[in-house]
Structure 1
């Protein structure tokens, strides 16, 4: 029988961008091993918006469901007692999920200076516990993005041959593909997992052991969507038997995007060593980037990089680029790279230079 449950913690139409970061450390605490661990979650730097919300989820495998521990986020205490919201009972242990609102912590000056969430757990019990999965969903308010997101979080355990059909309620559609992200803990490289989205998109997983986050582009419905999770039967016996399911996230994000283009090269047919290349760049998009760079790539290596001004839509700029190459003809690539919120975009501009 399938053990545990998944609960829908998020169903939201959000004006802004959202990112989800996770780790599956399988870190052990207690017993004769270490009593403290810090697990970092590195965030994509978002320069042009501030954090407006944050949800932390922690999945633990433990011999029993009640004990004392300490949980801190960026050095700030969050919990002292282990009180899971969802529990799956296994043969000799439990798989448990705890979910916290960490928005106030992420808005502290110290947290705003970091591009990282440090989750510290201290446990001094005589029995070992295992940190199987830590995930954080972070929202950044902005008029230049729109997000539709739904999230199931919990603790499910499926033995070989078992399956479960999960329902996820998704807010109104956007005309962009949806991304389905799933976090599972596989018991063996021999385990095979089938995911079926809305009864028409199949995904097979296997060949790995331990925590795994997988993502797929899917076509979602406005409203009810279904995810069938099936732990396929195997002729090979393995232990532990249970597939553990921790999270399912369905997300769509549509951006108002910048579009940087090189519109003019000011380069003589032949340039002297050390001479500068002049190019004119225009933002042909609909928004200002949060960050922009121009990189020179030569034979697969970046040989120069410089920051660009953050151009408003329709605005232009001219930059000078030092060229430090030997005499002769060279194929180089002028790569424009820019970011809007958490999305990174780029455009390559291959050119031939004759240096004499």
Structure 2
């Protein structure tokens, strides 16, 4: 099969899907609840993701050749399964649209302030649709190649350590309270979304019954450490009051740094970060198209149609109040699709003794 991928490629698909536009504003979002304990919130979010990955793994072992939207029909029946699949499809379309909106806002604010948003959107989504139409193996190879940019990002972030650091901003550890730290982890969880892609990728893995949980666990650890690192470095660079006023603290951290041969490190960082931001949109476009259940010969048309829907979503006004409301309701839907439904499916599959070999009801 041309769509077969290896566990090595799965590792990088996870990274490229999860690490995206959310990283740049994560310290600002987390500090709203967790204050100086935002880095603890990110670690807790990583633990929560790991728990869900174990649930996914247990569910997928019972249905090794079925994707998410096929498992729902296998366990719940055709009618109820298709009803839930509608929510799954809407979730990926809306999350993809939200990711594209945030992507465009950052590009306009930091790089192309005079360029109309619809032009930026058209350029981005044209590239995303072109790659999403390709075979999964082609997408995976691109993600492996694109992941090499993470090394450049890590090197670029080192410049942030040359600005004054105040470690006492973190003290006393835990002062925000357990409740606020947990609330802060909610924002970190939203930034880490993308791991649910395993529910669509698992059937395409070569030797998919061996070592998959270890692979996705290592990917989750890597992503959690990346997010925690950037939250930590911004927390020791800015006070809570300053972070409250910054939309993208990671870029603000690098903005004032300049050397004789290197100027505007923040723009260098953002130029590299364009690729991870785009790969997140590509992944959600792919997941949305797969969840639509189109046959192989109709798949390119479905991707084009979904790309058009996401483009139309990006045309909504980008005022902060509107984007905040949109983000709020998309988050609620994501909780249902990413956390609740898979957990419910696993419980029902155990209680009803359902697996891939059992007869559909």
The bucket for the TM-score relative to the shorter chain is: under 0.3
Greater relative contact order (Cα < 8 A, sep 6+) = 2
More helix by share: 2
More strand by share: 1
TM-score, with length taken from structure 1: 0.24
Larger radius of gyration: 1
